[in-house]
Structure 1
Amino acid sequence: MTTRTATARYQGFGKDGKGQISSQSGVLEATPYSFNTRFGEEKGTNPEELIAAAHAGCFTMALSFALARAGFNEGSLETIAAVKLDSDGEGGFTITRSDLKLTATIPGIAEDQFEALAKGAEANCPVSKLLKAEISLDWTLA
């Protein structure tokens, strides 16, 4: 079993608050996030962008491994994930979908075989599964 972590800190509340996200690997190190990085054009990240990056990366890697198992050893894959955040009509928001757009170059593959492998990777990559998973919360009020 592998566990990876990330930490989010937020100072202040609502639109005036400012946060930072750091990841265990150090790729994200006190990366800013706030209302303006989420809904405006301020430099920084946001949860939807991070989910999109995770989904694109996970799906592409899953497909890469599926292609290798099927005997393909050259080519390229590029996936754009677009995560959509919509108003829930009650003053909040809901992530309603993640659209994956894949461009692939795989010499010698038949279209039906590629489609089956791509659909399998989409259904079975861990991030696709997470987006359908149960979530738990453990909290402490200090």
Structure 2
Amino acid sequence: MEIKRNATARWEGSGKDGKGALSTASTVLNDTQYSFNTRFADGIGTNPEELVAAAHSGCFAMQLAFNIQGAGFTATFIDAKAVITLDTGNSSITSSKLTVTASVPGISKEKFDELVEHAEKNCPISKLLNTAISVDATLE
């Protein structure tokens, strides 16, 4: 089975002085503003790297939840944060740094770390990214 999701972008004007809008089929993003300033400065709106960070942290957290469930445990919570680094000199994403804190009653630290490593390598967004991925995991 294949699932397809989509989003659209519209850009008007030059790279630096123009502006854009992003929309998703779900309408969670609906003509959401992005621009040079939202990407390279502190403008109001979103940017592609922020959206990649949201996708990576969300995908990783869900993969980890499935891993934990498959090991016979249930997470009380999983908090995941992704920091995407964009090297503007060579216009490439150079890393995604995941930080995760989770509460999983009854699980050992060793088992948790094993499941985190699996999620790091196997969530679909990790597989998509062609960059260095690292995880700093804390089990509460």
Verify same fold: TM over 0.5: yes
| Higher Rg of the two aligned structures | 1
Let me know the Cα RMSD of the aligned residues. 1.2
1:6 partner amino acid:
A
1:50-74 deviation line (CA, Å, top 9, x unaligned): 0000000000000001111111124
Q: Secondary structure at the match of 1:15?
A: coil
**1:2 & 1:94 partners in 2: Cα distance?**
28
1:68-109 deviation line (CA, Å, top 9, x unaligned): 111112411001100001133xxx411100000001111111
**1:99 & 1:22 partners in 2: Cα distance?**
26
Aligned residue in 1 for 2:137: none
- Contact between 2:21 and 2:32, CA under 8 Å: does it hold in 1? yes
**2:75 & 2:28 partners in 1: Cα distance?**
28
**1:108 & 1:22 partners in 2: Cα distance?**
42
Structure 1 unpaired stretches of 5+: 134-142
Structure 2 unpaired stretches of 5+: 132-140
Aligned residue in 2 for 1:117: 115
Aligned residue in 1 for 2:38: 37
Aligned residue in 2 for 1:77: 78
Aligned residue in 2 for 1:86: 87
User: TM-score normalised to the size of structure 2?
Assistant: 0.89
Counterparts in 2 of 1:4-15, with a 5 A limit? Answer: 4-15=5-16
Q: Is 1:106 paired with 2:107?
A: no
Aligned residue in 1 for 2:3: 2
Greater strand proportion: 2
**2:112 & 2:130 partners in 1: Cα distance?**
24
2:15 partner amino acid:
G
- Contact between 2:86 and 2:93, CA under 8 Å: does it hold in 1? yes
2:35 partner amino acid:
S
**2:75 & 2:42 partners in 1: Cα distance?**
38
- Contact between 2:33 and 2:45, CA under 8 Å: does it hold in 1? yes
User: TM-score normalised to the size of structure 1?
Assistant: 0.88
Sequence identity (%): 52
**1:69 & 1:17 partners in 2: Cα distance?**
48
Query: What is the Cα deviation at residue 2 of structure 1?
Result: 0.1
Aligned residue in 2 for 1:137: none
Number of corresponding residues? 130
